[in-house]
Amino acid sequence: MRSLLSRLDHRFVPQPDPARVGWLADWTYAHRGLHGAGRVENSASAFRAAIASGFGIECDIQRSADDVAMVFHDWDFMRLIGRPEKSASLTAVEWRALSYLEGEEPPIALKELLDLVEGRVPILIEIKSKRGYDVERSCEAVAECLASYDGLHAVMSFDVRVSRWFRKNGPQTVQGLVMREDDKGYTQKAWQRHLALWAAKPEFLAYHVEALPNPMVTALREAGLPIATWTVSTPELAKRAQANADALIAEGEGIG
């Protein structure tokens, strides 16, 4: 293990404060809320169900046209709402006039989610980003909501700029890095993963369960970096996650 860590290089092994991140491993997190059975992902009803079942919450953040942090995964409304607009093209008021195809409730803002949770369960907030996107504006919108929130929470993103922004501008908030190794991610190669770790200096990793186990994650975990893993959707993946990570971000049959 020492030889593996030396190959990783000490600069690529973040050393988080256990007092700040210890709670991460105490929970299973409902991926986009406890959705299904008429409850839409990232909806208020899915989050209420997660709270009632004793799960933490994982959610996604998009930014409205007027820079409000909205709880939604996709870059457009077609899949969940049946409309072609891009998510960033509508104001928060216009978002709230929409309704999901299933469930007929509107998307909610992050502030509404925080008011709903009231610190009863922890929240993992994934800030969505892509190439050419001004993700710092999303960070500002999220930080504004979190400024008065006392419950356990963390932010995370595939984009290393999110960890860097919160480390500088919102140090009270735990920040993490999301990684995957397949062709849908940005860290397929080992040097890209090491560079991302060095740039982000995350306090935890949220790693794609399909890429576990692997030597890098094992070494980081043994060095003290908490590892969450997603999306755990089957009993088989749950067994893999429990053996190789500290916290499960799960849905469907994987949430148990």
Q: What are the pLDDT digits (tens) for 1-35?
A: 444 444 555 556 788 999 999 999 999 999 999 99
- Tell me the average pLDDT across 175-190: 92
Domain with 84, as residue range(s), is 2-254
Q: Residue length, the chain?
A: 256
Parallel, antiparallel or unpaired: strands 56-63 and 123-127: parallel
Q: Please report which confidence band the pLDDT of residue 117 belongs to, taking 50, 70 and 90 as the band edges.
A: very high
Residues 6+ apart with CB under 8 A from 121: 27, 50, 51, 54, 55, 56, 57, 151, 152
236-255 pLDDT per residue, tens = 999 999 999 999 999 999 99
State the pLDDT at residue 8: 56
The answer to whether residue 111 scores a pLDDT higher than 90 is yes
Q: 112, 44 in Cβ contact below 8 A?
A: yes
Mean pLDDT of the chain: 94
**What tokens does 212 get?**
């576990």
The answer to whether residue 146 scores a pLDDT higher than 90 is yes
Overall number of domains in the chain: 1
The answer to whether residue 108 scores a pLDDT higher than 90 is yes
- Tell me the average pLDDT across 167-179: 97
Phi, psi for residue 39 in degrees, rounded to 5: -100, 125
45-80 pLDDT per residue, tens = 999 999 999 999 999 999 999 999 999 999 999 999
CATH code: domain of residue 155: 3.20.20.190
